[in-house]
Amino acid sequence: MGHLSRTCGLLLKSVCGLLLCSALLPAAWAAHPRTFDLYMPEAPPLSMAGDAGQQGIVADAARQAMTLAGYHMNINVLPWLRAQRTVQHGQDMLIVPLSRTPDRETSYTWIAPIMSMDRAFFTLDKRVDSFAQARRTYRRIAVGMGSAQERKLYDEGFDASQIYPLRIGENPAQMLLLGRVDAWFNGVPESQYIWRQVSKQPLLMSPVLMTTDLYLACSKTCSPRVVSSLRKAVETLHRNGSIQRLLDHYLPAAL
């Protein structure tokens, strides 16, 4: 009987210990929030290397969403094609600012849109009003390598010889000034932001010819819990005006 009592006592202590550990798990999670890698290109004013709060519209928004959801993040600035491949083949990796296009649809887990992005042709002397006119007018068009706008040019029937994909570190504004390209097809705020850094010469812009939403996205293999919590966090940032404040903060310098 004494042996039975001791056995029951030990079992009771084990069960209590398990219950206590279960109760402490949420507190332990909160005390040690999970850290995620976020990949992005150097593409001011959308994303750029810098201190927290000075990393561009979408990067700052992503950081705010991560904090709101209870996570930490490490930022990795890589050439855009390499960043995309890294996230596609990884697990629980985040990426911004990614345009949600048909050719990318099945390669990522799409969390939430942060902002929309207009694209247009920029030039010094040959303004166009359509893709068809641009095909006839421009011999060489600068465009970001691996970008949604590069894909758009191919989809619109531009010859490969007309498309000059730019890597990180190649300055399209300088190339335009030097006459190495005839035009630059890119996001409107990004192009205006960069141009202000290099020249006071007037920059001609076509009508907006492409618009997509820029997303916070995750690897194809991504925790549903993480996706849900970050999606709710981004929605909150839209509702409470935080993302609009980021737009107001960064974009005046581009206008």
- The per-residue pLDDT for range 176-224, each reduced to its tens digit, is 999 999 999 999 999 999 999 899 999 999 999 999 999 999 999 999 9
pLDDT of residue 53: 87
pLDDT of residue 31: 55
Model confidence at 170: pLDDT above 90 = no
Q: Predicted confidence band at 169 (pLDDT cuts at 50, 70, 90)? A: low
Residue 95 contacts by C-beta under 8 Å, 6 or more apart in sequence?
A: 38, 39, 40, 83, 84, 87, 108, 216, 217, 218
Angle among Cα 67, 73, 76 to the nearest 5 degrees reads 140
Structural domains of the chain ordered from first start: 33-117+213-254 (3.40.190.10), 118-211 (3.40.190.10)
CA distance 229 to 111: 9
Q: What DSSP string runs through 55-97?
A: S-HHHHHHHHHHHHHT-EEEEEE--HHHHHHHHHTSBS-EEEE
Angle among Cα 193, 198, 204 to the nearest 5 degrees reads 65
State the average pLDDT over residues 102-130.
97
pTM of the model: 0.84
